[in-house]
Amino acid sequence: MAADDPFHHLHDEDYARPYLAGLAGAATYVPVNGRPVLSLAGDWRLTLDLFDEGLRQKWFALDETPPSQWSQPRDYEIEAGELVPVPSCWNLLKPEWTYFEGAAWYTRHLDWQSGHAGERAILNIGAANYAALVFVNGIHVGGHRGGSTPFSLDVTDALRNGRNRLQVMVENRRSPVRVPMQHIDWFNYGGLYREISLMRLPAVFIREARAALLPGGRQIRFSIALSETVDATARVDIPELGLSLSIAVRDGEGEVTTPFTGQAWSPEAPRLYDAVFSCGEDRITERLGFRTIEARGTDILLNGEKIWLKGVCVHEDDLVLGKVSTEDDVRRRLRHVKELGGNFLRLSHYPHHAHVARIADEMGLLLWAEIPVYWAIAFDNPDTYADAENQLRELIARDINRASVILWGVGNENADTDARLSFMARLAQVARKADPTRLIGAACLINRETFAIEDRLAEHLDVIGLNEYFGWYEPDFSGLDRLLANSAPGKPVIVSETGADALPGHRGAGRVLFTEDWQAEFYRQQVRRLAATPYVAGIAAWLLYDFRTERRQTSFQKGFNRKGLIAEDKTTRKLAFAVLTELFAEW
Ligand code: GCB
């Protein structure tokens, strides 16, 4: 069939193949980190595309002649799209879009003038759930998969001086081979829901700049990687520490180690230092905290001293904004953890917005950051593995310099099969190699046969996360007593989830499910037992706020998971909030 046949696309089910190549990933990621950018936030045109007509018919290649001058009928017209704000989640923009799972085309124009010869134009997208394809002036410049990590595309060659058209196709279908897969306990928001911007960089730029306090806490190592394998001299300056060092770069990489004379970062004293990394004309800024974290025996040590992690889990979810996290919302979230008397937050179950770790650095909170290797991932699928590994590397690359992040989580509640073991052990190795300065963990399940905290993955982890719901999904606490007595994990255990649902205002005595009273009593029973168990180094209560999830449809739930200590309005505190505050103060 000839390609100029107007009906050709009706018979081509292989239409997506050309766009599988050119995916951005951790290796092509370029952090913004204080560089000047042209923000592309604001109004975009959005057209939903349930049947993938955009790729089938190549909507991106259409010119912009007005409809009155079309020589052939079309199914796409930029101006016919809805005007929507970016960042946003489309589900919350129109009632009829609430449950939309499919592709959608974002389009906007921008003016651009090229600068110095050799200059690169880098497009940064904070996140697009789940997959994205990017077109500049009708040219396919690349794509990305993974719904919560940032990516960068070099669009220099597709841009022209003057007016340019930028199109991003975002697609959020759930699928058994994605990460996460189709069965999740949260809402599947879609869209360009984090910042998007364009920046100019010199021909050779800083791809990565790291700073880490080495074990022992006496030396800092700075390292730098450039975009090209060249020799150069880079610099790092931290005026408050009196540091001004040059870094010899060979074949694009260099590092320098120097004594640390400052004050260590901790939740009680979250001391940050302004740092500048530079090389040639390129310059990035960072606010750095310096601390060590390690697991020794069954203890977790922060700056060499034992610490108990007391905290909560939280989803990135908002009644009005969905997955969009504003800075105010993040600050409120972290203030609530502080009010609980907590020092710890688990960012479940996927990478949260980059400013969470920045603000946690400032406010002094310790973070567990993870990728959505959740429940029944296609562990025997090599392409699924590649996607998960890339998401992990992108998360690490983005947050590598955040003092608040102490642990990389490689999965949540995955059955202990051989395929899962090799998949997740590999992820743990990747994380450890990419970042030897943090703990590696995963939220594990109980071994039901031995009724103990035993998981074959544990030997690859520094910290065992344990999700347990004795008193909620399991009727009483005797099982917890048995489990804790039966287990000798030999490593620190963080109870990475425990909790009970409560509908605000629903009251009752005894074990009446969905009451505030039972949720409060649940925490009394749990924390009493966990605090008395020497190998338990921390608790992350499930969870801070009620959140949307379509799996939950009783009259108590109505589309929400009600295990929040605070309702979905982020204001109404349940009884358990005060109870847990007291329990944390006593522990
Ligand atoms: C879990 C999951 C979490 C759920 C929670 C619950 O174990 O890890 O994603 O939302 O239980 O509320 O059942």
- Asked whether the predicted pLDDT for residue 81 surpasses 70, the reply is yes
In this prediction, residues 312-328 reach a mean pLDDT of 98
> Which H helix or E strand runs over 577?
helix 575-586
Closest residue by Cα to atom 10, ligand 1, is 185
Mean per-residue pLDDT, 23-44: 97
For residues 480 and 483, what is the distance between their CA atoms, to the nearest angstrom?
5
Distance of CA 359 to the CA centre of its chain: 15
Per residue in 147-194, pLDDT tens?
Answer: 999 999 999 999 999 999 999 999 999 999 999 999 999 999 999 999
Q: For the chain, list the domains and their CATH numbers.
A: 8-201 (2.60.120.260), 206-291 (2.60.40.10), 294-586 (3.20.20.80)
Q: Is 299 in the pocket of ligand 1 (CB under 6 A)?
A: no
At 432-445, the pLDDT tens digits run: 999 999 999 999 99
Q: How far is CA 263 from CA 68, 275, 290, in A?
A: 68, 15, 8
A 10 A CB-CB count for 188 gives 22
Residue 171, token pair as written in the block: 């697609």
pLDDT one-digit tens code per residue, 513-570: 999 999 999 999 999 999 999 999 999 999 999 999 999 999 999 999 999 999 999 9
Question: What is the pLDDT, as a whole number, of residue 63?
Answer: 96
The verdict on the CB of residue 563 being under 6 Å from ligand 1 is yes
Q: What is the pLDDT of residue 452?
A: 98
Mean pLDDT of the chain: 97
Q: Is the pLDDT of residue 3 over 60?
A: no
Confidence of residue 1 (pLDDT cuts 50, 70, 90): very low
Residue whose CA is at the smallest distance from ligand 1 atom 9: 185
The whole-angstrom separation of Cα 454 and Cα 372 is 22
The pTM is what?
0.98
Relative to the CA of 473, which ligand 1 atom is closest? 13
pLDDT at 250 (0 to 100): 98
DSSP 113-163: ---STT-EEEEEES-EESEEEEEETTEEEEEEE-SSS-EEEE-GGG--SEE
d(CA 510, CA 519): 10
The reported pLDDT for the residue numbered 68 is 97
pLDDT at 116: 86
Q: 497 alpha carbon to ligand 1 midpoint, in Å?
A: 8
**Residue in 341, 228, 298 with CA at minimum distance from that of residue 585:** 341
What CA–CA distance (Å, rounded) separates 555 from 177?
33
Ligand 1: distance of its center to the CA of 368 in Å? 16
The answer to whether residue 26 scores a pLDDT higher than 50 is: yes
How far apart (Å, rounded) are the C-alpha atoms in residues 56 and 38? Answer: 32
411: pLDDT confidence band, cut at 50, 70 and 90? very high
For residue 99 the two structure tokens come to: 């449950």
519 lines ligand 1 (CB under 6 A): no
Percentage of the residues of the chain whose pLDDT score is greater than 70? 99
Query: pLDDT tens for residues 179-191?
Result: 999 999 999 999 9
370 CB less than 6 Å from ligand 1? no
- The SS3 call for residue 239 is helix
The answer, yes or no, to whether residue 357 has pLDDT greater than 50, is yes
**Which pLDDT band, with edges at 50, 70 and 90, does 6 fall under?**
confident
